[in-house]
Chains A and B, each alone.
Chain A
């Protein structure tokens, strides 16, 4: 069974600095999706970035980028130029590719990392 581990319960960073959140996972599959979700204090979880395992290029969304190391089963999130609005819980998640009957749509979640932004 797949597992996702976020080893940092809490991280803090100075505003405008760069921070990296760690995520490792375990799987025997070769193709899958990886996600980073953000949950601000208002609680609505939103997708930050998505990576397809078959793509070697690391995904990037504005100030957010990932370092995807498939062999090491590592999927870290880098936030550049941190802003106060980045303060939130960040969750790493794994999903198998959909099966023929669309049955593989469960996400496997990490326990989350609380990111604190210091002004």
Chain B
């Protein structure tokens, strides 16, 4: 299996819908991340989980709700989104302890979200 897997790859939802994005990593990493990628803008870090504990929440609106049940799985629950939330949502993982702690991120292929 690939290192970081995201589902679904594409999602179209109305502003009143509730949906979830899923991410799973098979690399044994302890940290997982949600990023938002919009055209011609730097990646925006949304949430970070380290050993299942949320350690970063970069002023993300409450209509985005993360969940990390264990170090291998990460969810992003979506509800009452706005059209400007349409973007590519990337999940990543990394190892933040030990000699391999160089900050390298391993990414999934992303979930393309369109909000109508």
Contact = CB atoms under 8 A, between A and B. Distances in A.
B102 A50 contact: yes
Interface in B38-84: 40-43, 45, 48, 50, 55-56
A110 B42 contact: yes
Interface residues of A, number: 26
A90 interface: no
B104 A105 contact: no
A109 B103 CA distance: 13
A84 interface: no
Interface string B83-115: 000001010101011000111110111100000
A33 B97 contact: no
Interface stretch (A13-21, A37-45, A64-72, A73-81): A37-45
A43 B96 contact: no
Interface of B: 31, 40-43, 45, 48, 50, 55-56, 88, 90, 92, 94, 96-97, 101-105, 107-110
Interface of A: 4, 9, 33, 35, 37, 42-47, 50, 52, 91, 95, 98, 102-103, 105-112
